[in-house]
Amino acid sequence: MKGTYYLGDQQFEIREIPNRELGPDEVLVKVAACGVCGTDVHIYHGSKGSAEVAPPVILGHEFSGIVEKIGSAVDKVAVGDHVAIDPNIYCGKCHFCGIGKKQMCANLIGIGVNRDGGFAEYCYVPESQCFKLDKNIPLAYGAMVEPLACCLHGIDRLNMRQGDTVCVIGGGAIGLMMVQLARLSGASVVVLSEPVQHRREIGLSLGADYVVDPINESLPQRLHELLGTEGADVIIECVGNLTATGQSFEAAKRGASILLFSVPKAGSVYPLSLEDVFQKELTILGSMINPDTHERAAQLINSGRIELKPLITHCYPIEQLEDAIMMQMSSESIKVIVGN
């Protein structure tokens, strides 16, 4: 069993994974597909993930595979099942777990962050983290369950109303899933702001009513032309830079809700107009990982209600993980998958 270990300082090394006995509640998963996430890119450049990284560790927290072996007490899954993995393991004992906000868990363990993850041939995971996929669903789609689960948590936080107008900023994999979720949530109009043409075209094919090129067009002006108001009811920011943050506030009408969903660069600071927050009565939200949404994400993918094929643009073997990370950073890609 081989895995691509992250050693720190942008260094990887393929090593044998130590073979060991399964715990009673553990599952050995033969990894089929693992997505490269923005968090992996941040870790590669020296930032922390959802939890502190302690190299050497196998990264990769968006993955799916086939159950190879099960522990003696496992009854949720069986050998041969196709599964997607929820990487976030909560302690269940700290203050935040106790008040129903386990995504803030003080002792969070992240598979693929501070415990060996999916950029490998096999991975040991607790049974509790496995969610079944229909066997007719491509396993590459299973690698999208985790990011979709995170998107669902963000959508839940927004408390969208049917008939709301929505502006999604950023047409990467997350933004294109948010376009679809906004439509499923009852948005009357969905506008995608994205500078890359082929992403705008995919956005239209996935349910966006309109697209805007924010490099060559004024987003506030276009929203006024398209919606007849000074902005949208709901803004979902999916880029992670200060330019996109600024566009989120420019695109917000009075009374709007703004979800700053993306993972920003560590230390990022945005100069916020408090007068605008007051006078426009803005609601500003963050969204952290995926508490209790993984099952729903798997069900959505099993149902075929979310279109994923156009999002998966590049696939690499685990031996080319660094190349996969570089490609994920490129505007040429949408979602990069590492597979076996």
The pLDDT score that the predictor gives to residue 252 is 97
Provide the greatest CA pair distance for the chain: 63
Specify the CATH architecture of the domain 2-144+308-339: Alpha-Beta Complex (3.90)
Examine the pLDDT at 93 and tell me if it is beyond 90: yes
Catalytic residues: 39, 42
Phi, psi of 110 (to 5 degrees): -115, 115
Tell me the C-alpha distance between 260 and 239, whole Å.
Answer: 9
Dump pLDDT digits (tens) for 21-67. Answer: 999 999 999 999 999 998 899 899 887 766 678 899 999 999 999 99
The pLDDT score that the predictor gives to residue 49 is 63
Number of helices (H) and strands (E) in the chain: give both, helices first: 11, 18
Is 191 in contact with 166 (CB distance < 8 Å)?
A: yes
Dump pLDDT digits (tens) for 247-303. Answer: 999 999 999 999 999 988 778 899 999 999 999 999 999 999 999 999 999 999 999
Class of the CATH-defined domain 156-286: alpha beta
The pLDDT score that the predictor gives to residue 340 is 77
Q: What angle do CA 41, 43, 49 make, to 5 degrees?
A: 110
DSSP 8-class letter at 230: S
207 sits in the region (left: phi over 0; alpha: psi -120 to 50; else beta) called: left
Dump pLDDT digits (tens) for 195-214. Answer: 999 999 999 999 999 999 99
Q: What angle do CA 167, 243, 266 make, to 5 degrees?
A: 110
Domain ranges of the chain: 2-144+308-339, 156-286
Distance of CA 278 to the CA centre of its chain: 31
Q: Is the dihedral angle over the CA atoms 3, 8, 13, 15 positive or is it negative?
A: negative
Tell me the C-alpha distance between 204 and 200, whole Å.
Answer: 6
pTM for the full predicted model: 0.96
Examine the pLDDT at 110 and tell me if it is beyond 80: yes
Q: Is the dihedral angle over the CA atoms 301, 302, 306, 308 positive or is it negative?
A: positive
Mean of pLDDT values over 215-244: 96
Tell me the C-alpha distance between 277 and 49, whole Å.
Answer: 30
Dump pLDDT digits (tens) for 316-334. Answer: 999 999 999 999 999 999 9
Of the two residues 213 and 19, the one the predictor is more confident about is: 213
Dump pLDDT digits (tens) for 116-144. Answer: 999 999 999 999 999 999 999 999 999 99
